[in-house]
Amino acid sequence: MIDLSTKFGSVELKNPVLLASGVWDLPYTKIIDFKRLGGVICKGVSLKPKEGNPTPRITETPCGLINSIGLENKGLLNFECEILPELKKLGTHVFVNIFGESIEEFRKVASKIKEVAGLEVNISCPNVSRGGDKFARDPKMVFSITKAVCEETELPVIVKLTPSIENIEETAQAAKEGGAMAVTASNTFPGLVIDIERKKPLFKRITGGLSGPAIKPLALYNVYKIKNAVDIPIIGSGGIADYRDVLEYLIAGASAVQLGSIIFNNPLAPIEILDNLEYWMIEKGYKNLKDVNKK
């Protein structure tokens, strides 16, 4: 029997494969067997409903995509009444991604969410004009928001960091000092697409967030940098498309990983990755995830 379970802080997952925030919604239960997953992170929740950015909101890039969704969601009240009860039926660990335009908003949202596996604090969305990744670029702000959220909740707190700074170790350290149980490294990378017909940027907000296999080496490097500088569990995220990518993240120092846009390319990828991870462990004669790092 292969044991894929992973433990970090107070969180115990049956395997290290999580679905990232912002790529899935409940209709995916028709395709993916959610009970097989280590957990899921739901779409970002803000205090008030947020209508999101004008279209176009997405475009393909080589080995990936750029999005400018703008955190569309129906707000905290709708989340508590309509969405959360459904998420609790998924049969897997549910982490709730929260965001705010101010420390006060983060506090309010964090204080209301109960009975889930944890909170993922989104301070790193590149597609909103207020808050967003401006927070994650400033270690002082990372510390203050993390501390505020931790004061409001007893749930494990994970802070989702931005990749678009030189020293992600500094913001990881700030999250740790603020009381975070873990960090997610990292969010999408800011990027630009030009519409050659209109001869201007495709997105109304100019830039979008790049994800997909194209960013894997960059995000992986962020995990490696944090691992070697800060003693905090890391959830690796960025461009995972294959079980070998998961292994790279685990070896670089991640305790778990998030799958994102790959489910647009192959909705069954999470299940295929879990199956192939297990085959690989059998072939190697490994019994549990700790063996992955065996030399």
Partner 1 sequence: MEPTFRILPVLENKKLGPYHKITLKDAQIYKCAECGNFIMIGLQGFDPYLHRPFSFLEVNRGSFSILLKIKGRGTELLSKVKKGDKLKVLGPLGKTFCPPENGVLIAGGIGIAPVYYQSGWMKGGILFYGAKVRKDLILTREFKEKGFKVRTISEEDGGLVTDLLKKHNDELNGKQIFICGTNEMIKNIKRILNKEQIDKTYVYMEKRMGCGLGGCKSCAVDTFKGYKLVCTEGPIFPLKEVKFD
Stretch that binds partner 1, among 62-70, 115-123, 230-238, 287-295 (CB under 8 A): 62-70
Least distance in Å: CB of 67 to partner 1? 7
The stretch among 20-28, 117-125, 172-180, 182-190 that binds partner 1 (CB under 8 A) is 20-28
Let me know: does 64 contact 214? Beta carbons within 8 Å: yes
Torsions phi, psi for 274 (to 5 deg): -65, -45
- Of the pair 72, 170, the CB lying nearest partner 1 is at 72
**Residues designated catalytic:** 125
Asked if 84 is part of the footprint of partner 1 (rule: CB under 8 A), the reply reads no
Any contact of residue 54 with partner 1 (CB under 8 A)? yes
> Directed axis angle between helix 216-227 and helix 243-252, to 10°?
30
For partner 1, the binding residue among 12, 35, 48, 51 (CB under 8 A) is: 51
Looking at beta carbons only, is 218 or 292 nearer to partner 1?
Answer: 218
Contact status, residue 75 vs residue 48, Cβ threshold 8 Å: yes
Find how far residue 214's CA is from the centre of its chain: 17
* C-beta separation of 163 from 214 below 8 A: no
- Residue 181 to residue 74: CA distance in whole angstroms: 27
Residue 192 interacting with partner 1 (CB under 8 A): no
Q: Residue from 37, 65, 119, 234 that binds partner 1 (CB under 8 A)?
A: 65
Q: Are strands 118-122 and 93-98 parallel, antiparallel or unpaired?
A: parallel
How far is it, in rounded angstroms, from Cα 112 to Cα 104?
Answer: 13
The nearer residue to partner 1, 58 or 292, going by C-beta atoms, is 58
**Residues found near partner 1 in the complex (CB under 8 A):** 22-28, 30-31, 43, 51-52, 54-65, 67, 69, 72, 212-213, 241, 261, 263-268
